[in-house]
């Protein structure tokens, strides 16, 4: 697609064009993605007026991760579930906000796709007008699944099995970034509120091989092991030859931190820490946060690791399992993996 023709390309047009290049495509996936986009537009509208309505704030309910659920999280979760359950393309869904799988009610037809999502990531930032986002991944129901029952095992697939992944970022503008993998590229679309359409704004995003930015919550320094501390110290230590020190940027919304690093280069880290001995594996969730962004970053030429190997190869054991996450520019993440795994001593 040349630059001239891509001006004004809507997301729907883009998905349809991609669909036509795949002779096996039935249009089911296009329908699914279109409905998700409608849900995101509704969430975006609500996020934009959050400061104006009493929807802002805390419901007092505690979610499955033992965190307080804010009203907008609940709203976003409901919007996605209600819009997606009737499209007829989904076998089931899984959300960060729900402890169990979300089944498709009997009155609606079921399909063969599985949608996993974090409806509103970065929830601690809702009240303070900092960017937040929706993260999603799409899988196919395993072909050897013959029962009519929805099984957890259908969903617990490694990230490499995703057929699509992406996110919506509700920031200074609302942007959707998605990929369908297999060399189709990562593309970004900006919502034009006056026309209510996502238009192609970032075609074929490539993340720089190496960045100059590191993003991590350094307040956790005291809870990290020696290797992790050494790694962060490395990024901060001046060295002309390797363009150090790196710049530190950390918003506290994964989508926002990831999106900046995707466009400009850099590494985002949420390492394992010893703060809560019951959760020695970091904070972020494999299925709804790490895997979708890992698919995006790898398709854009970057890498995502848990400190030992690729995020996308991890066989999930539970729906809400957490994982250490190092994600971004390939060289930076490879270095992090080498250090965390002990293969390289700095």
> Applying CB under 6 A, which residues contact ligand AHM?
67, 96, 118, 121-123, 217, 252-254, 270, 283
3 state SS of 30:
helix
Q: Least Å distance between CB 135 and Mg ion?
A: 7
User: Contact 320/287 with Cβ under 8 angstroms?
Assistant: yes
**184 binding partner (options ligand AHM, Mg ion, none; Cβ < 5 to 8 Å by kind):** none
Question: 63 or 89: whose CB is closer to ligand AHM?
Answer: 63
Burial degree of 217 (CB within 10 A; 0-12, 13-18, 19+) = middle
Closest CA to 86 of 111, 112, 64, 59: 111
Closest CA to 286 of 328, 320, 333: 320
Q: Least Å distance between CB 170 and ligand AHM?
A: 13
| Structure-token pair, residue 141 | 């129901």
Q: Does 154 bind Mg ion (CB under 5 A)?
A: no
Residues 260-299 that bind Mg ion (CB under 5 A): none
Cα dihedral angle (287, 159, 205, 203), rounded to 10 degrees? -90
Question: 123 or 329: whose CB is closer to ligand AHM?
Answer: 123
Residue number closest to Mg ion, CB atom: 121
Q: Least Å distance between CB 134 and ligand AHM?
A: 11
User: Contact 214/197 with Cβ under 8 angstroms?
Assistant: no
| Structure-token pair, residue 166 | 């992406």
Count of residues of this chain found to bind Mg ion when the rule CB under 5 A is applied:
2
**Angle between helices 226-236 and 330-340 in degrees, nearest 10:** 140
3 state SS of 310:
strand
Q: What angle do CA 321, 215, 178 make, to 5 degrees?
A: 65
Of 121, 298, 299, 332, the residue at the interface with Mg ion (CB under 5 A) is 121
What DSSP state is assigned to residue 127? G
Q: Least Å distance between CB 327 and ligand AHM?
A: 11
Run of H or E residues at 94: strand 90-95
Site string for Mg ion, 99-118 (x = CB under 5 A): -------------------x
Burial degree of 287 (CB within 10 A; 0-12, 13-18, 19+) = buried
Q: Least Å distance between CB 254 and ligand AHM?
A: 3
**276 binding partner (options ligand AHM, Mg ion, none; Cβ < 5 to 8 Å by kind):** none
Question: 35 or 121: whose CB is closer to Mg ion?
Answer: 121
Question: 64 or 151: whose CB is closer to ligand AHM?
Answer: 64
Q: Least Å distance between CB 199 and ligand AHM?
A: 26
Question: 14 or 259: whose CB is closer to ligand AHM?
Answer: 259
Question: 19 or 220: whose CB is closer to ligand AHM?
Answer: 220
Q: Least Å distance between CB 72 and Mg ion?
A: 13
Question: 187 or 283: whose CB is closer to ligand AHM?
Answer: 283
**252 binding partner (options Mg ion, ligand AHM, none; Cβ < 5 to 8 Å by kind):** ligand AHM
| Residue 88 burial (CB count, 10 A) | 14
Applying CB under 5 A, the residues found at the interface with Mg ion are 118, 121
């Amino acid at each position: 697609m040349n630059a001239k023709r891509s001006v004004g390309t809507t997301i729907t047009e883009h998905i349809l064009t991609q669909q036509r290049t795949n002779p096996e495509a039935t249009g089911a996936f296009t329908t699914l993605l279109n409905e998700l986009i409608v849900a995101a537009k509704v969430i975006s509208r609500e996020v934009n007026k959050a400061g104006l309505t009493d929807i802002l704030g805390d419901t007092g309910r505690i979610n499955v991760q033992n965190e307080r659920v804010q009203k907008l999280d609940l709203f976003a979760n409901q919007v996605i579930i209600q819009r997606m359950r009737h499209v007829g393309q989904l076998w089931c869904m899984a959300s960060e906000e729900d402890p169990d799988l979300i089944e498709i009610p009997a009155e609606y037809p079921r399909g063969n796709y599985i949608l996993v999502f974090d409806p509103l990531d970065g929830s601690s930032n809702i009240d303070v007008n900092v960017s937040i986002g929706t993260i999603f991944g799409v899988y196919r129901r395993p072909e050897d699944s013959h029962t009519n029952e929805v099984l957890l095992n259908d969903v617990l697939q490694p990230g490499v099995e995703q057929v699509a992944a992406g996110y919506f970022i509700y920031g200074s503008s609302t942007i959707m970034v998605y990929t369908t993998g297999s060399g189709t590229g990562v593309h970004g679309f900006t919502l034009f509120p006056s026309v209510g359409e996502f238009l192609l704004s970032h075609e074929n995003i490539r993340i720089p091989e190496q960045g100059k930015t590191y993003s991590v919550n350094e307040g956790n320094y005291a809870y990290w092991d020696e290797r992790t501390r050494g790694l962060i110290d490395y990024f901060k230590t001046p060295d002309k030859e390797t363009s150090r020190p790196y710049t530190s940027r950390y918003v506290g919304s994964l989508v926002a931190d990831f999106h900046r690093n995707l466009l400009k280069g850099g590494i985002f880290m949420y390492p394992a820490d010893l703060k809560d001995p019951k959760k020695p594996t970091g904070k972020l969730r494999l299925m709804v946060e790490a895997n979708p962004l890992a698919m995006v970053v790898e398709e854009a030429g970057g890498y995502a690791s848990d400190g030992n190997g690729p995020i996308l190869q991890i066989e999930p054991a539970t729906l809400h399992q957490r994982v250490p996450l190092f994600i971004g520019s390939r060289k930076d993440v490879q270095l992090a993996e080498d250090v965390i795994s002990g293969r390289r001593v700095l």
